[in-house]
Chains A and B, each alone.
Chain A
Amino acid sequence: MWRRAPFLSCWARLGLVALLVGGCAAKADPFGQQVRRIDEISIAGEELFARGELKRATRNFSRALTMSRSVDYLPGAAQQLNNLGAVALEEGDYPKAGDYFTQAYNLNQERQQFVAASINQANLATVAVKQGQPAAASQHLLAAQDAARQSRSQPALARVYLQWASFYLDQNDPASAQDFLTRAQPLCTTPELKGSLFHHRGRLALARGDSGQALEMFTRALSIDRSVLDRAAMAADLFYLGEVYQTRGDLAPAWDNYVRAFDVYAGMGRKAQLSKCLKRLQEVNREGQMGNSLERFEKLANPNPAPS
């Protein structure tokens, strides 16, 4: 007869011995511990940034930057500089954002951290676009593309191609956008990149007037972005879904999608995007003669309206 107790006892002892052996294999790593602590603070900052709590995110990134510099952790310092630039960009302080991104790029370039350097240049391109300087933006995108190639990282290159596509879509050049999306497609291996690819394909289809294709692309993008909880991406997908429906004349689903986009942006505290959503909601409400109340949206979009 099989005796259960001695059997379990034997295996438990073996497990403990294995743990002890493994523990002996572990080495003390104070620097690694400090890096992990910096990572934890930075991750918390990224979550705050995603939620739109920019002041708290800035505090976390600044703290992580100080800690990185104090232990001479240069990749960490470059990362926090980039993240602080991202916060400044969201706050609309473009010169400050450009300065942070440039500092981060210089650090990464010195240390041949090409993936990070590529992201820094891509962010600088976004700053240039926001400042209405498309020529400068294309220069930064070229630098980002070079860095991504040097890194030999497919996702990094895919990210740059997708941003090129976005850039050309903003410039009303669907052919060039199509070219870069085609180049990016085989490189998009991560869910984030796949979601972005579908999103830009949707925009391309919308630009070409193919609302059916656009609807499918944005729906797939939303599904993927939701799985990774990329809220900014989800809100953009929802907004474009609303636009597709509005273009097709389906005003009820258009209203619903705009409302959903509005709520996601509201959760992130993105005021500029809230205004855009509110404008579309007003349009749809008027076109469809829906008679829906806009009070809630107006309050959130304009918390402190100017006194009449």
Chain B
Amino acid sequence: MEEGFSRKEQLAGGFILVLIIFTVVTLLVIAQAKGWFQTQNTYRIKFRQGYNLLQGSLVKMFNTEIGKVALLSITQTTERPQVEVIIKVNQEYANLIRQDSVAEVVSPTLIGSEYVDISPGTSGYPRIEPHGDIPSRERKSVTEHLAELASEENIQKVKIMLSHLAQFSEDLKNDEKILQAALNHIDEVFLNLAEGKGTLGMLVMQKDLYNRVNQAVGRLDKFLVEAKILIVDLKPMAQNLGVFTKSINQELEPLKVIVANIKAGSEELPDLMEAATGTARSAKETMDAIKANPLIRWTAPAGAKSQTIHVAPRTLP
């Protein structure tokens, strides 16, 4: 009987070997990518609180990742408990971490989580050795920021500024109204002018008016010249008028006398009327006396006598 691996067994063993190699290579590639094989320096930072930092939170410089938070713990060694943050920074950036570097927890604006930002140290300061403490700066909370902002002085300044702003806005509004009205008025004026309305419009838009005004002024000049001449001629006439008035006055005198006579006569008129009435009454009495004479009454024709009116019943159909 022949001993050893069969062909099928050899193929299966080779396949398993390839898989193992492939898996190891893959793991190496991933470890390389994950930096499992990079050398890192460990530093310690102390904060008054953790600021929501987590294990694995990023450590950045110039907004570039240079390491990660390795451990968070609360230490009670001092009188005041503190949060101790152990970070691991790639060794290649270790020369940037010096004595004047300051670590600070930064919160992103909207998206993301808190990270540790380390300001780069200047070349004049010595490097911080691995496992050394990096100076830290406490991050101001929103409330602290607001408290700082809402200080009395600031509020006062803001008040003054707002009042100034309101006044300015009001002034601007008024000025805007005035300006708007003025602009509208100017628009109307220009429109009227354009349409030839009003004296100015006519003057501006109608040449005919210019001509007519010119003609009128010319006529006025002529008229004034003629008026001057006429005034010169009127002077002797006015002198004659005075003479004429004197003569009228002389003629009026007899007229006044006549009117006075009429007035005096009219005053005597009632007496005259009274006398006439008396005479008429006497005459009537005389006539009545004559009529009363029986001889005359018998012979005189019978006069009409007043009668009670009988309304004639001669009705028409």
Contact = CB atoms under 8 A, between A and B. Distances in A.
Given A39-B306, A46-B307, A233 B312 contact: yes
- Looking at chain B's contact residues, is the secondary structure mostly helix, strand, loop, or mixed? loop
B294 A43 contact: no
A58 interface: no
Interface stretch (B39-47, B261-269, B285-293): B285-293
A116 B308 CA distance: 7
Contacts of B288: 33, 36
B309 interface: yes
B229 interface: no
A22 B294 contact: yes
Contacts of B313: 122, 126, 129, 162-163, 166-167
A43 B309 CA distance: 11
Nearest to A232: B312
B217 to A, nearest CB: 56
Interface residues of B, number: 22
A79 B314 CA distance: 22
A225 to B, nearest CB: 9
A22 B295 CA distance: 6
A26 B288 CA distance: 10
Contacts of A230: 312
A45 to B, nearest CB: 8
B309 A26 contact: no
B317 interface: yes
Contacts of A86: 309, 311
B80 interface: no
Given A232-B312, A232-B314, A233-B312, A29 B307 contact: no
A175 interface: no
A43 B304 contact: yes
A76 to B, nearest CB: 8
Given A33-B288, A39-B306, A116-B308, A276 B314 contact: no
Contacts of B308: 78-79, 82-83, 104, 115-116, 119-120
Contact of A79 (B289, B306, B317): B306
Contacts of B296: 19, 22
A62 interface: no
B311 A89 contact: yes
Contacts of B245: none
Given A46-B306, A46-B309, A86-B309, A239 B316 contact: yes
A201 interface: no
Contacts of B309: 46, 49, 82-83, 86, 119, 123
A184 B288 CA distance: 40
B314 A273 contact: no
Interface residues of A, number: 49
A282 interface: no
A223 to B, nearest CB: 16
A12 interface: no
A236 interface: yes
Nearest to B296: A22
A10 interface: no
A279 B314 CA distance: 18
A166 B313 CA distance: 7
Interface string A22-49: 1101110100010010110011001001
Contact of A26 (B289, B311, B316): B289
B314 A123 contact: no
Contacts of A43: 304-306
A211 interface: no
B170 to A, nearest CB: 70
A90 to B, nearest CB: 8
A232 B310 CA distance: 12
Contacts of A243: 317
Interface string A144-185: 000000000000000100110011001000000000000000
Contacts of B289: 23, 26
Given A18-B295, A129-B315, 7 more contacts: A26-B294, A90-B311, A123-B310, A129-B313, A199-B314, A233-B314, A236-B312
Interface of B: 288-290, 292-296, 304-317
21 contacts: A22-B293, A22-B295, A26-B294, A33-B288, A42-B306, A43-B306, A49-B309, A83-B309, A104-B308, A115-B308, A116-B308, A120-B308, A122-B311, A123-B311, A126-B313, A129-B315, A166-B313, A170-B315, A199-B314, A233-B314, A239-B316
Closest 10 CB pairs of A and B: A42-B306, A26-B292, A236-B314, A22-B295, A22-B293, A86-B309, A166-B313, A39-B306, A119-B308, A116-B308
